[in-house]
Chains A and B, each alone.
Chain A
Amino acid sequence: ETGVTQSPTHLIKTRGQQVTLRCSSQSGHNTVSWYQQALGQGPQFIFQYYREEENGRGNFPPRFSGLQFPNYSSELNVNALELDDSALYLCASSSLGREIGAFFGQGTRLTVV
């Protein structure tokens, strides 16, 4: 079991609403990444935060935004939810400069209706 925790575990939202997902990273890790995993697909990189700054972004629109806090925890915010945003959202923590496997949380399953 990793030290990465995500909340909530499940969430149902209505199209057009906004949602905030939370992640606390593994102790000693300074980098947090977010991934979206649609049903039956591999995870897709959304963005990464290092020392509270965005450190790379995947092919996701600006309505996907994030924050990293001084304690390295992180939030993923999605505005104007669309039905296609329904997915498992995974948070991963790691240490920049160290080649280790990223540690993932259990994910938040978001359903947009």
Chain B
Amino acid sequence: AQKITQTQPGMFVQEKEAVTLDCTYDTSDQSYGLFWYKQPSSGEMIFLIYQGSYDEQNATEGRYSLNFQKARKSANLVISASQLGDSAMYFCAMREGQRGAQKLVFGQGTRLTINP
């Protein structure tokens, strides 16, 4: 079975600094997808970034980038120039099953707090 591990329960960062949120995964599948979601206090899960297992380059979306190290089975999220609005829970997730089926296995999450 697939498993996602996020070892940082909480992170505190000064505004405008960069922050790295850790994620390691375990799977026996050759083809898989990795996702990061942001969950503000309102509860909605907001899709941030995606990395496919066969993608050779690290994914980037604006201030978000994914540091994908396949051999180490890690998929860390990097947020550059953090903003107060980045304060939220962040979840790493892996697709399980058929491509696009979006059966996601989530980690426990990291609570990120941006200090002014």
Contacts and interface: CB of A to CB of B under 8 A. Distances in A.
A42 B107 contact: yes
Contacts of A35: 104
Contacts, number: 82
B68 interface: no
A4 to B, nearest CB: 9
**A31, A43, A56, A106: most-surrounded residue (chain B CB, <10 A):** A43
Contacts of A104: 37, 44-47
Interface stretch (A12-20, A63-71, A89-97): A89-97
A97 B45 CA distance: 21
Interface in B82-108: 91, 93, 95-108
Interface in A66-100: 88, 90, 92, 94-100
Nearest to B89: A42
Contacts of A100: 50, 100
B43 A101 contact: no
B104 A102 contact: yes
A28 B101 CA distance: 15
A102 B102 contact: yes
The contact size tier of chain A is: 20 to 34
**A92, A97, A99: most-surrounded residue (chain B CB, <10 A):** A99
Interface in B28-65: 33, 35, 37, 42-48, 50, 52
Nearest to A89: B43
A35 B43 CA distance: 12
Contacts of B104: 33, 35, 43, 45, 92, 102
Nearest to B95: A99
Interface string A18-59: 000000000000010101000001111100101000011010
**B37, B91, B100: most-surrounded residue (chain A CB, <10 A):** B100
Given A56-B97, A96-B98, A99-B95, 4 more contacts: A33-B103, A94-B101, A95-B100, A107-B43
